[in-house]
Structure 1
């Protein structure tokens, strides 16, 4: 079996676990948002989204980009200089602990200034409560990133994807049932992260996972910060791309419009779920291939993985794009139906982000973090400019267009840079056929002008659509030998006899 196949199978095993955790996280996250959106006003739901946006940006600054850098750095040092791994971990934790407490104080003191920016006094109280989650959130994220460097996903799945969202959802539901005031939502956020961090620390202590003493290695710290700062700026720019629409809608049109827009945005952000799940496993394994100069194997892994991600994502994209009203009504209710065009526009942007594959993570693996920073900053600048131009004229649809355009720019730039440096690209022949078949079929269904507002009518149509798509993919011989080998791994993992499926696939390889 080739090294590419071995790497793919490891990624597939890990991705399955991470995907299950991500689905659980999104399910409970959607339940929490749905309760907040339905129980409170659209304005209060808008304040919740604004506060969460500010905190997410603060999280990237507090962690200095370590969450993206550590999986690569830990894997690299384990391969080349194992004796330094303990010092690397301790140094990262000390730096983030101090920095997160510093930014907690800054945000608490600056809450009034931030609220004046969005002309909403409710944001003051929201931020002054929610900001105390920042140290717990930041330290938990760093520990989870370190565990990913060891090739582990347990900590990611259990504590970030399950413990926190479940606790937050339970607190929100209880608060809504007991008719607690709106401020309770932010107290629930702090309590959920505090308890999740405590549970993570207990688990690490029991498992004796991270063996290190408390130390601060200035040389390792400087190297880590030098590598991570571009990733931090990239993270901030990435949040600008993702959340500028929310922030600028709040600035121009108020919290009510922010609430309406966020009846669509969280649904569109479901689309990269498979991409993000694979991205948590991909960097350490890709780093090993890159460290040994095995670029051809890395290219093959990239191409097959991108095809799998697209095939898994496309049915969800079809549901959201073809039936936006039914999808929004299912999650957020009829008062958010006017955001249906926004959902379609955003779905295009996130689907394009998905179909080019793990270009950003691959650039991190080859230490091109500076280029990621430049491309993301450029795209963020385009996003801000387009939002300023389009929101006053087109409202929430203008914000969606700006976000979609920025995702298009950054993904094209990152993919071109990756190809320039390594000749790695996602477009194998089998993947190209899958893309063409999918979008031609989507265009044909759109030509029928189906107007479906109930999910119970949309799902049967989607089942037929997906079945036709998979049949056409098989007939076009878009299946590779690695796909069959992956199926063998799945068969062994779940203990189900897939003999019939294997025979079908083998005929079309």
Structure 2
């Protein structure tokens, strides 16, 4: 069975989107995909999209309640600590949470079961050891730097590093699940279960008489993170054991590490770029400003989730197509741009329309962040307009140049923050973020065209690659 791109859109997008996108997707109908190929990618994206919708709602509600319970000052402290822990925990994987998505499908298709068993075990052990060492060094660093850190940040940051090994392990387990197209195992622990448990444990601690402050919220986060990751570990391990027969294993750690390192750089720059504005606001402004800015960014996350949902659904398929027909890869990549842009545009308009009352839910003082949405949305639209370019580059073996692009973008972003935040406050952070995202989108799209000959830009036809 074979079917067109427009037909595919009609199967997994709402009808009004499919009707609008049909003519554009029809341009690639000359390149045909099998039902299995298209079905698996679309199924992953639909599940990822659905999970991110529910996740965005859960995250928004939970953050509103946390802000209401703690007040803007304590909430700002918690936000800065938790964002830092999530960033460092992700980076502590050193790229293995993404490289396994590249190697596992390859080893399975080539029948290299010894290598498959090896990478599954070695990646877990490496990430657990590396993240534990990083957590220890982080706690030591905070303690030594205490004289130069605001007093209200010291204890929360020392407590926060307890989460690091489990955050890193959860990211790796999500990578293992994505490599096997287990969308729910890949996404639901981090995006559904953990935020719900943080909220639940926080509520229970408040009922037990604990103070509604950042330290209580961090204790709740520690408990939720460990419970979620251990449950995820059991579930993924059981499924892996059913699919991979017992036997000897081969460990090519040096090879895996060499490939993971540039991926680590890509992920590091991307993650830092995504969250640099919050960190820079925390460095220059007080926790109340951090709280307002984070609430604004959290509201905008309702648009971001489209991009991340498509990225989660297509990365493994990019890896498989890279070793096959280049025309098939190009057509599929172009289609994922449409999957990303049109739903993102719709969500952006919705957020702009409802942004102010949504921010007031956090507290009356949070409404001051509403005007920032109109500036930040330009950056989000620019990123959506080129689709998941970095996944395409990483899965096609161009992770080095992708890392270089992100390094330049991160440096550009930080430089803008350093200059603009002291001059314009939160407006400076928003300007830096929007300009950096526009630069990132243009640089990644240009790199994909130069390296792969694929036009990843929503309003430019594929024939423009000539």
Residues 416-474 of structure 1: CA deviation (Å, up to 9, x unaligned): 11111221123477989xxxxxxxxxxxxxxxxxxxxxxxxxxxxxxxxxxxxxxxxxx
Helix, strand or coil at the partner of 1:151: coil
What is the rounded CA distance, in whole Å, between the counterparts of 1:38 and 1:215 in structure 2? 54
Helix, strand or coil at the partner of 2:454: coil
Whether the aligned pair in 1 keeps the contact of 2:117 and 2:250 (CA below 8 Å) is no
Within the candidate set 133, 136, 158, 1:102 is matched to 133
Partner of 2:118: 87
Residues 186-235 of structure 1: CA deviation (Å, up to 9, x unaligned): 111111111112212332354434648899965x2111211111222222
1:170 aligns with 2:211: no
Partner of 2:406: 376
- Larger deviation, residues 95-104 vs 201-210: 201-210
Partner of 1:271: 303
Q: TM-score, normalised by structure 1?
A: 0.79
1:285 aligns with 2:317: yes
Q: TM-score, normalised by structure 2?
A: 0.85
Partner of 2:281: 249
Within the candidate set 388, 391, 411, 2:418 is matched to 388
What is the rounded CA distance, in whole Å, between the counterparts of 1:51 and 1:93 in structure 2? 25
1:343 aligns with 2:366: no
Instruction: Indicate how the Cα distance of structure 1 residues 196 and 428 shifts in structure 2: closer, same or farther if over 3 A, else same.
Output: closer
Instruction: Indicate how the Cα distance of structure 1 residues 130 and 410 shifts in structure 2: closer, same or farther if over 3 A, else same.
Output: same
Partner of 2:443: 413
Partner of 1:160: 190
Whether the aligned pair in 2 keeps the contact of 1:90 and 1:215 (CA below 8 Å) is no
Helix, strand or coil at the partner of 1:110: helix
Whether the aligned pair in 1 keeps the contact of 2:44 and 2:314 (CA below 8 Å) is no
What is the rounded CA distance, in whole Å, between the counterparts of 1:74 and 1:188 in structure 2? 35
What is the rounded CA distance, in whole Å, between the counterparts of 2:247 and 2:436 in structure 1? 42
What is the rounded CA distance, in whole Å, between the counterparts of 1:122 and 1:114 in structure 2? 13
What is the rounded CA distance, in whole Å, between the counterparts of 1:39 and 1:144 in structure 2? 31
Helix, strand or coil at the partner of 2:302: coil
Matches within 5 A, 1:187-266: 187-207=219-239, 208-209=241-242, 211=244, 220-266=252-298
Whether the aligned pair in 2 keeps the contact of 1:65 and 1:230 (CA below 8 Å) is yes
Partner of 1:111: 142
Deviation at 1:113, TM superposition (A): 4.8
What is the rounded CA distance, in whole Å, between the counterparts of 1:123 and 1:217 in structure 2? 45
Give ranges in structure 1 of 5+ residues lacking alignment.
Answer: 433-509
Partner of 2:87: 57
What is the rounded CA distance, in whole Å, between the counterparts of 2:248 and 2:156 in structure 1? 36
Whether the aligned pair in 2 keeps the contact of 1:35 and 1:176 (CA below 8 Å) is no
Within the candidate set 345, 354, 371, 1:314 is matched to 345
Matches within 5 A, 1:5-154: 6-83=36-113, 84-113=115-144, 119-154=149-184
Give ranges in structure 2 of 5+ residues lacking alignment.
Answer: 3-31
